[in-house]
Structure 1
Amino acid sequence: MLAALAALGAQAQSPLPDAPHLPEVEVRGPVDAAIGGADSASEGAAERASFQSRPKLRPGDIVEAVPGVVATQHSGDGKANQYFLRGFNLDHGTDFAVSVDGMPVNLPTHGHGQGYADLNFLIPELVSGVRYRKGPYFADGGDFSLAGSASMDYVSALERPYLEATAGGHGFQRLLAAGSRTEDDHTWLGALELEKNNGPWVVPERLRKLNGVLRFSQGTPQRGWRVTGMAYSSHWTSTDQIPQRLVDDGALSRFGSLNPTDGGRTRRLSLSGQWFDKGPQGETRLSAYAIDYRFDLFSDFTYFLAHPDRGDQFEQSDRRRVYGLAGSHQKNTRWGDLDGVLSFGAQWRGDRIAGVGLYATEARERWQTVRDDQVSQDLLSLYGQQLLNFTPTLRGYVGLRGDWLRYRVDGREPVYGPANSGRGHDSLLSPKAGLAWTVAPTHELYLNWGRGFHSNDVRGATITVDPQTGEPAERVPALVKGQGAELGWRFQPRDGLTLTAALWQLDLDSELVYVGDAGATEPGRASRRRGLEATLRWQIDPRWRVEADAAWSRARFRGAAPEGEGNHVDNAVERVLAAGVVWESGPWMATLRLRHMGARALDTTNSVRSRPVTLLNLGGRYAVNRHLSIGLQVFNLTNRKGNDIEYDYASCTAGEVASGACGGGIEGRHVHPMEPRSVRVSARWTF
């Protein structure tokens, strides 16, 4: 593969005699939202140079290019990130929709958690742009996008092929080879990534990852098509969160483990295709995709609380294929004297889950089946949105989205499986609206409103018996409504300087979630979140660029709290501050980035709060010559002892069982520490 890419690069740079001259390759990303073209203050596109320069400990960290988003980890690096945004602990993706190359990343009815969005298959260097929106204000936004969405795509061509090797602390090694070749309007792109990592953990992580991309594209910027194949596989040993009480007593290292057999393995294969036509009659886009996915995760969060003899480790398994089609059209319209733009489209997604299960295990060996289901679900969506220019300075839009979900669950666990089987359907209509007023050439105000939804795990929609206790269980709706509104402002006094602010609110009918750790539905109450966000993007001069984001939010359950509970939404992020500076001069590039996540309630009464976390990362690159460049990344520059995640719940260790101190479990804080200072050095050879 490496030799092929090198040869490909040599041919691309040195055409054979009499061969046609190859067109110049231009690598660019989406343009950020601007006055006169944006429909809300909280939408935009991250500059490619900015997010490519950021130090990234994990591939999923790229979503932090979306203002206000925090991506952390509470297990091994092969597991999906933990995401935070707009007053949500989004777990691994619920209410934050992510797509890559037109394919949805979030997985419904997943073995570990609803909306599971694993971005470890992403190769960040190939990403051409990160487009983002927040809130349920636009008709083309569907499942999981209540809090926000991020869409990413890969470049179709590279300026020159390259080979990059990276080495760092804790046994980190990575090799990336990427290149493209263009003849006339035909382009092949290929990339191969190999990675291994042990991490700072007492029990080495032993991450092993293999990742590949192959894309063929043809056409012009006005009309063309492409086909992309991706293949990703990894396996790892994880250190899950541990009791803070053991760390405080000195009985366990901050980086220690209570079960050295925790970990997982996953595989993702995909084939996608896209076709587009931008002509005088409008813009048409068609896409299709197929994904083959496998996942096995072994976790242990309570240790010996439920099973003092064998331990509480469990396995979550997922085997599925996902198919999808989408089409959209956009054209100019005229209603009387008013010019406008009409957008409409249709989407279909089908998940064929051959097996999604939960099993009690000991050292990764199954000894009890809690749930074992075969699931089929289809989501069909139609939407339309009309924008009108009422005056030269005032425009607005209205939209309507319809979603229809059909599902079937076949339980294969012999005791409770038949009782928890079933089929059904659910549907929702979601209206949207917005106004934009250009107060002055440099100021624009926005008002947005919309209804949206997130889907629940459909096993919760057919359940009748709790598989852990045998007690009756209450079914939940398959689709849960949410409603949001936003007042925004955008200030652009000149090119290269943008300041935005947004005051927002989001109401959810229910916080109902399917808990993959227990195989049952956890009921929740209606909630309200509100907050304020501000962003700054400033290209001071050709050498200096400054970025800053601030987000404050308040998340509360609505109505009277049940006895013994409060109205705080537990683990809801309350404050996020991020800032970065990038300096480029000749062959040099340096960046310094700060991220702060404030304390948050860990229970509904706000009696236990997490500790605030501040992280400082440093990155740099020096081009030795036209072929060789050297890179440096320093993570957690100040070596702060913070936590990536904190929870408050009951657990019991083997020692506590033996001493008789366990009882019904010991309540307390459980933490997964952020990694200590680490350094990675890379060398890239460009052919």
Structure 2
Amino acid sequence: MITRNTRKSSLPARLLSCAGLLALPLAPSADELQLETVEVVSRASNVLGMTSSASQGFVGRPEFEFRPWMRVGELVEVVPGMVATQHSGEGKANQYFLRGFNLDHGTDFAGFLDGAPLNLPTHGHGQGWLDLNFMIPELIDYIEYGKGPYYSEIGDFASAGYAKFHTANRLEKGFLKQTFGSDKYFRTVVADSIDIGQGTLLGATEIGFFDGPWDTPMDMQRYKGFLKYSWEGIGRGFDISANAYFNDWTATDHIPERAVQQGLISRLGTIDPSDGAQVHRFGLTLNGWNDSRWGQTRLTLYTYYSDLRIYSNFTYFLDDPVNGDQIFQKDRRFVLGGKLSHHWHWLFHGIDAGFKLGAQIRQDFIPKVALYHTQRRRILDPVRIDEVSETNVAFYLENNTRWHEKVRTIAGLRGDIFLFDVEDRFIDANSGDTSDYKISPKFGIVLGPWYDTELYFNYGFGFHSNDARGTVTKIDPRSGNPVRPVDPIVGSRGFEVGLRTYWIPNLSTTLALWQLRLDSELVFVGDAGTTEPSGESKRYGIELSNTYKPLDWLTLDFDMALTRARFLNVGSHANNVPNSVGRVITGGITVDHPTGAFGSIRVRHFGAMPLEETGTHDADSSTIVNMGVGWRWRDRLRVSLDILNLTDSDDSEIQYYYTSRLPGEPAQGVEDYHFHPFMPRQFRGTVQLFF
């Protein structure tokens, strides 16, 4: 929930900010400015005048509280048109899809928790690694999202969009939540908040175990902890939060279709049962803000430690027919950074102008990012071991001006500097330092409202950084062949035309037509220790989002996104972008009845997509239905049952097409579909006691 306080100011004007967005009042008096109170609790809430694009919005806790979740990462599916899947165990960062991007584990989608960036550059497994598994969903108060490179405050990894997760400062009641489910699913959450001095201390812990339906039990063991102290006075306040996370699991990766057809394994089987991972994460974040006659100043400081050890075998016996192709990827890092911004507001001859000036700095010190060849988790030989230092410094200025009660512009300029220092412990030629910078202008026009409708026009430049190792690599660590270093920064540029309307009572509708160009699809392939080039690409599409509340206790939503993605400057016979989802349809019904009954049923569908450039091989479409029902008694007891994969669909969560080799197959391997199936129907029952 987002609340803007109503106040009167003797200043010519006061800045009004909400979750980092600039909002300007309508037709203020030159003598005194009355700021309205706006409460955002769902996508159905009226946010006219608060957003700068049709694809930007807020989702409050009441909208996702009763959703049946398969896993934590599905929280991002509150973003219309976004899909989060999994192909390697319940502890690995999800595979994300949005606007025709296979975002891998986060390459072009930025995530934040209480202001701290979560994507990890130069990661051992995937550039921009975005792991949300450490969050405790019950503590998320609201989620802010935006799509496209139109927002000055957001830099790296946000070409497709971003999501900001905000935790609550206090709980209305403490609770103990216990869940039991199919295949030895067990989850316990305990949380409460108490007043200490003039502030509030919130604490929570979670313990979870899960074997899953797989032939090789996942044996997941997960532990989380969270503490947050917050204080708010008149015009100022702060909060400081700490989190800890540990997860250990055995993974069932995607498998070759031919192995199932030949009866070598079942659909729930695995080729290499020793695949799996272990992750540790510890974080600390401080947020402070101060309102004065000069505007509003906000400060965020953060630091965290992350350690991931992951074993994977995607090609089985293609490279090493004797020992197999299992790899061990290690990423251990310390992250330190901060953000400082100042908002101020001018009123001049009836023109309202809001300004936001900000500076950001982030330092990733990675003492060890490594790739090894292993057999059943036993190291055979190292492929590449690096020590990396990566620094990002950014400045931005944004202006939000209301020229007329129905004309508003948003103009921004962002500058980013990257400094890379890489030390390869085996190949001196792959060591070195480099730097680069990127200037990213942004511009938008908002017209309206007319008949409770606003029109939006947006244009902007964005980017994602490349893996630091790829920017200095000159020799392929596997083959020994010379390679060309890649550009440190890959630029993007996009535009969007859209509308947001509340013309029909209780119905919120947004429509957006968009296009995005990416200068290069270059990605550092952590599995090989080198960079794999593709080319410049273009994506465009249409998105429709609807939320309808015919009754206070009933919410219906329906979202549809249609996208086309193509490589440029290549023949039409090979211009398909692999794993670019062209159709995403989601919808659901949520009930929160005054009698105590509650529930939700949700459908998620994504269409067929090309698996390689020629478009000869496509992934099948995929549909899943989840349902949850429950009852609560006087806010003291809540009982619920979730049925995940209600129809017991045997569709795939993810599909790929590439060459792999099973024992006895030709040395050159076999091209085949590789897939990870949905888990069969799952039942999870929960009892939640409030105190």
Coarse TM-score class (shorter-chain normalised): over 0.9
Match for 2:655: what amino acid? E
Aligned to 2:601: 592
Secondary structure, aligned partner of 2:176: strand
Aligned to 1:604: 613
Q: Is the 8 A contact 2:41 2:63 kept in 1?
A: no
CA apart distance, 1:617: 0.4
Match for 2:487: what amino acid? P
Q: Is the 8 A contact 2:256 2:672 kept in 1?
A: yes
Aligned to 1:423: 433
In structure 1, how many angstroms separate the alpha carbons of the residues matched to 2:199 and 2:221?
34
**TM-score w.r.t. structure 1 length?**
0.93
Residue 264 of structure 2, aligned match among 251, 257, 273: 251
Aligned to 1:386: 399
Aligned to 1:85: 98
In structure 2, how many angstroms separate the alpha carbons of the residues matched to 1:491 and 1:667?
49
Q: Is the 8 A contact 1:75 1:238 kept in 2?
A: yes
In structure 1, how many angstroms separate the alpha carbons of the residues matched to 2:597 and 2:333?
46
In structure 1, how many angstroms separate the alpha carbons of the residues matched to 2:660 and 2:450?
59
- Asked if residue 510 in structure 1 is aligned to residue 505 in structure 2, the reply is no
In structure 2, how many angstroms separate the alpha carbons of the residues matched to 1:27 and 1:221?
22
- Asked if residue 231 in structure 1 is aligned to residue 283 in structure 2, the reply is no
CA apart distance, 1:370: 0.6
Residue 359 of structure 1, aligned match among 372, 388, 403: 372
Q: Deviations over 1:528-576 (max 9, x none)?
A: 00000010011111121111110000000001249xx600001111100
Q: Is the 8 A contact 2:242 2:283 kept in 1?
A: yes
In structure 1, how many angstroms separate the alpha carbons of the residues matched to 2:637 and 2:369?
47
- Asked if residue 491 in structure 1 is aligned to residue 501 in structure 2, the reply is yes
- Asked if residue 132 in structure 1 is aligned to residue 145 in structure 2, the reply is yes
CA apart distance, 1:279: 3.9
**Alignment map for 1:257-656 (pairs within 5 Å):** 257-334=270-347, 337-413=350-426, 417-438=427-448, 440-493=450-503, 496-561=506-571, 566-585=574-593, 586-654=595-663
CA apart distance, 1:127: 0.2
Aligned to 1:664: 668
Aligned to 2:688: 684
Secondary structure, aligned partner of 2:551: coil
In structure 1, how many angstroms separate the alpha carbons of the residues matched to 2:678 and 2:635?
37
Q: Is the 8 A contact 1:347 1:381 kept in 2?
A: yes
Match for 1:139: what amino acid? S
In structure 1, how many angstroms separate the alpha carbons of the residues matched to 2:234 and 2:75?
26
**TM-score w.r.t. structure 2 length?**
0.92
Q: Deviations over 1:207-241 (max 9, x none)?
A: 00010001111124732101101000010000111
**Unaligned stretches of 5+ in structure 2?**
1-38
Q: Is the 8 A contact 1:30 1:131 kept in 2?
A: no
In structure 2, how many angstroms separate the alpha carbons of the residues matched to 1:627 and 1:335?
54
CA apart distance, 1:389: 1.1
In structure 2, how many angstroms separate the alpha carbons of the residues matched to 1:284 and 1:637?
48
Residue 674 of structure 1, aligned match among 648, 671, 678: 678
In structure 1, how many angstroms separate the alpha carbons of the residues matched to 2:504 and 2:343?
29
C-alpha spacing 1:594/1:30, structure 2 compared with 1 (3 Å): closer
Q: Percent identity?
A: 41
CA apart distance, 1:138: 1.5
Q: Is the 8 A contact 1:130 1:151 kept in 2?
A: yes
Q: Is the 8 A contact 1:44 1:133 kept in 2?
A: yes
In structure 2, how many angstroms separate the alpha carbons of the residues matched to 1:364 and 1:221?
56
Q: Is the 8 A contact 2:46 2:502 kept in 1?
A: no
CA apart distance, 1:55: 0.8
C-alpha spacing 1:31/1:279, structure 2 compared with 1 (3 Å): farther
Match for 1:521: what amino acid? T
CA apart distance, 1:249: 2.4
Match for 2:203: what amino acid? G
**Alignment map for 1:16-27 (pairs within 5 Å):** none
In structure 2, how many angstroms separate the alpha carbons of the residues matched to 1:27 and 1:122?
22
Aligned to 2:17: none
Q: Is the 8 A contact 2:496 2:514 kept in 1?
A: yes
Match for 2:574: what amino acid? G
Match for 1:196: what amino acid? F
C-alpha spacing 1:29/1:129, structure 2 compared with 1 (3 Å): farther
Q: Deviations over 1:23-47 (max 9, x none)?
A: xxx9979995622222110000013
Aligned to 1:142: 155
C-alpha spacing 1:67/1:356, structure 2 compared with 1 (3 Å): same
Aligned to 2:57: 44
Q: Is the 8 A contact 2:112 2:118 kept in 1?
A: yes
Q: Is the 8 A contact 2:41 2:59 kept in 1?
A: no
Q: Provide runs of 4+ in structure 1 moved above 3 Å.
A: 26-33, 334-337
Secondary structure, aligned partner of 1:170: coil
Q: CA RMSD in A?
A: 1.6
Secondary structure, aligned partner of 2:619: coil
In structure 2, how many angstroms separate the alpha carbons of the residues matched to 1:234 and 1:444?
45
Match for 2:587: what amino acid? A
In structure 1, how many angstroms separate the alpha carbons of the residues matched to 2:100 and 2:204?
37
CA apart distance, 1:280: 3.9
Aligned to 1:21: none
C-alpha spacing 1:362/1:33, structure 2 compared with 1 (3 Å): farther
C-alpha spacing 1:98/1:211, structure 2 compared with 1 (3 Å): same
Secondary structure, aligned partner of 1:540: strand
Secondary structure, aligned partner of 2:520: coil
Secondary structure, aligned partner of 1:419: helix
For these two proteins, the number of residue pairs brought into alignment is 652
Q: Deviations over 1:404-461 (max 9, x none)?
A: 0001000112xxx211000010001000000011151311111000001100001000
Match for 1:671: what amino acid? F
Q: Is the 8 A contact 1:597 1:614 kept in 2?
A: yes
C-alpha spacing 1:28/1:502, structure 2 compared with 1 (3 Å): closer
Aligned to 2:135: 122
